[in-house]
Amino acid sequence: MRVVLAEDLFLLRQGMVQLLESYDFEIVAAVDSGPALLDALVTLRPEVAVVDVRLPPTFTDEGLQAALEARRRCPGFPVLVLSQHVEQLYAKELLADASGGIGYLLKDRVLNCDQFVDAIRRVADGGTAMDPQVISQLLAVRSRREPLSMLTPREREVLELMAEGCSNTAIAQRLVVSQGAVAKYTTSLFAKLDLAPADDSNRRVLAVLAYLNNTRVDVS
């Protein structure tokens, strides 16, 4: 799998290169600035990008803006954001585009290699990989407004796990309930969110995330 990395810290960037190469990823570019990232994405067309939000020259949102521009030029291009903080505005911009794989992980909450590698592969395959803390903060912002406030605590737990990319089977295992119970929670929360449930779990997750960012998605 061909990957472009964008990270301004030399040691972290080189560490990720060596880590991913050990898992048979092909690192086609490892860059340290926003302009270099956009050039690599447009020129090399990798299968997925792992992007830090704050890159030179401004150290604001250079990384994400380059990724978003790449997605505008190539709709559905898979992007995994790797940030130090929960940047709600940046997350909203990324998640509002419900096409293609998306992910948002926090650097200090990536606990092992398998978690990181699995997230990259999931996003490259068109799925989602969202840190629970990112989802919780997005939900907290919207919880003061309808209809998320209508969700029960259990339905919110199911929604958060869906947003992480979990299947119904995985959700049942995490919550120690039956798959039938998860199906009922899912049906209920989709009704409350005015979103029709779909068979494909990734499409359901993208629909939920799009809804959280005031974007409606047809999942029929």
Domain range summary for the chain, segments of one domain joined by +: 2-130, 135-212
Place of tokens 């969202």: 130
pLDDT bucket at 155, cuts 50 / 70 / 90: confident
Please compute the mean of the pLDDT values over residues 54-77 and round it to a whole number: 88
* Calpha distance 219→206 (Å, rounded): 9
Q: Which CATH code of 3.90.1280.10, 2.60.120.260, 3.40.50.12780, 3.40.50.2300 fits the domain covering 2-130?
A: 3.40.50.2300
Which range of 24-28, 53-57, 209-213 scores highest in mean pLDDT? It is 24-28
Please compute the mean of the pLDDT values over residues 74-102 and round it to a whole number: 79
The pTM is what?
A: 0.72
Which range of 2-11, 75-84, 128-137 scores highest in mean pLDDT? It is 2-11
Query: Is 132 in contact with 105 (CB distance < 8 Å)?
Result: no
* Calpha distance 149→129 (Å, rounded): 24
Q: Which CATH code of 1.10.10.10, 2.30.40.10, 1.20.1270.10, 3.20.20.190 fits the domain covering 135-212?
A: 1.10.10.10
Please compute the mean of the pLDDT values over residues 158-185 and round it to a whole number: 87
Between the CA atoms of 85, 90, 91 and 92, what dihedral angle is there, to the nearest 10 degrees? 140
- Confidence check: pLDDT of 134 > 50: yes
The two three-digit tokens of residue 196, written as one number: 């029709």
